[in-house]
Structure 1
Amino acid sequence: MINILVLCTGNSCRSQIAHGYLEHFTEGRKVKVYSAGVETHGVNPKAIATMQEDGIDISHHTSNNVDEYAAIPFDYILTVCDNAKERCPFFPSSAKRLHYNFPDPAKFVGDEEATHLEFKRVRELIKKYCQSFVEEIR
């Protein structure tokens, strides 16, 4: 079993989107995906909606604190924002750590349509990253 942790600041948008795509792209394989934040902010409804538009349901996800997973032997820890990378706790494992700083769509300032487009843009960036990651670990 390959254990993957996706970590961001609040476990509300970017890590939730990555979690959804990683589960989707590894379906049927012996992979367990977790997502967490160095804080918990709740799953953002706009992240749920933008993933639903791409056919992936993350409405059942919860916002979890990274400390909840301290005992899990992760193989990969993917940080998806600089803040999480800097604040990521030490895990007593040989986990390979990978980092990519995605923009936070929740911090975007604009009208409803522009915000929707920003969530989709970030979703597509994360989707491509997750596809590439899954191809690399095959």
Structure 2
Amino acid sequence: MLDQFQTCTPQLAETLRKAQLLPISEERKTVLGPLIQYIQEKIDQGQEINLNFICTHNSRRSQFSQVWAKTAAEFHGLAINSYSGGVEVTAFNSRALESLKRSGFRVSSKENGSNPTYFLFHSDTADPIVAFSKLFDDPANKASQFAAVMTCGHADENCPFIPGTEQRIAVRYEDPKAFDDTELESEKYDERSLQIASEMLYVFDSLKHE
């Protein structure tokens, strides 16, 4: 797999190598198990894989998850549709975006008031990952049937029904927002981003496919 990192920026390749080496506890592997099973069943049935990562504001954890899931899948040679959304529209948090830049993504943007659209590139040849804050059922999330991957407790507990969901999977992450405007801000955003990268690499590395 490491050879596949050669297509991306050196900085991102190094981040992915670090993510691969990050230990994943048995408890977290159990949490990730249903997501692995869902994707594997889609592969076995030759069906489209649609993942919609959902958090309340679609600003931090769900954005990290969308970006890293798409990146991990592509480096494993697997085509998926990776989406994200929330129950309120805010903006892709600038701290999360800066963390992804530090990881090695090249980013451009299109201004749209208080909720810009960002284009994240992991290589010069791949299409960008398009990211902005939106509701989980925004037209940009084109799939009508998907796995709703709940990345925060608030959304998981307060959204009892999400139309279009084939399977609801809780993969919760601690919110780096708790460290906003502190000396630990950058460190904690990078820590959460790297954890999500590590777990998404583990998910796609666990699959059996051609």
Residue in 2 that maps onto 1:77: 148
The reply on whether 1:32 has 2:81 as its aligned counterpart is yes
Question: Any idea what the Cα deviations from partners look like across 1:27-59, whole Å, max 9, x if unmatched?
Answer: 142211110011122001111111111123463
- SS where residue 88 of structure 2 aligns? coil
Residues matched between the structures, number: 135
Structure 1 spans left out of the alignment, 5+ residues:
none
Which of residues 143, 148, 162 is equivalent to 1:90?
162
The reply on whether 1:100 has 2:146 as its aligned counterpart is no
User: Which has the higher Rg, Structure 1 or Structure 2?
Assistant: 2
Which of residues 102, 119, 132 is equivalent to 2:189?
119
How does the TM-score come out when normalised to structure 2? Answer: 0.58
Question: What is the identity percentage for the equivalent residue pairs of Structure 1 and Structure 2?
Answer: 24
Superposed, which structure 2 residues align to 1:7-86 within 5 Å?
Answer: 7-27=54-74, 28-57=77-106, 59-60=118-119, 61-68=131-138, 69=141, 72-74=144-146, 76-86=147-157
Distance 2:201 2:156 in 1: 21
How does the TM-score come out when normalised to structure 1? Answer: 0.84
Structure 2 spans left out of the alignment, 5+ residues:
1-47, 108-117, 120-130
- SS where residue 5 of structure 1 aligns? strand
**Partner letter of residue 11 of structure 1?**
N
**Partner letter of residue 53 of structure 1?**
R
Residue in 2 that maps onto 1:130: 200
The answer (yes or no) to whether the contact 1:14–1:80 under 8 Å persists in 2 is: yes
Relative to 1, partners in 2 of residues 1:37 and 1:128: Cα closer, same or farther, differing over 3 Å? same
How big is the shift at 1:125?
A: 1.9
- SS where residue 96 of structure 1 aligns? strand
Which consecutive segments of 4 or more residues in structure 1 shift more than 6 A?
Answer: none
**Partner letter of residue 79 of structure 1?**
M
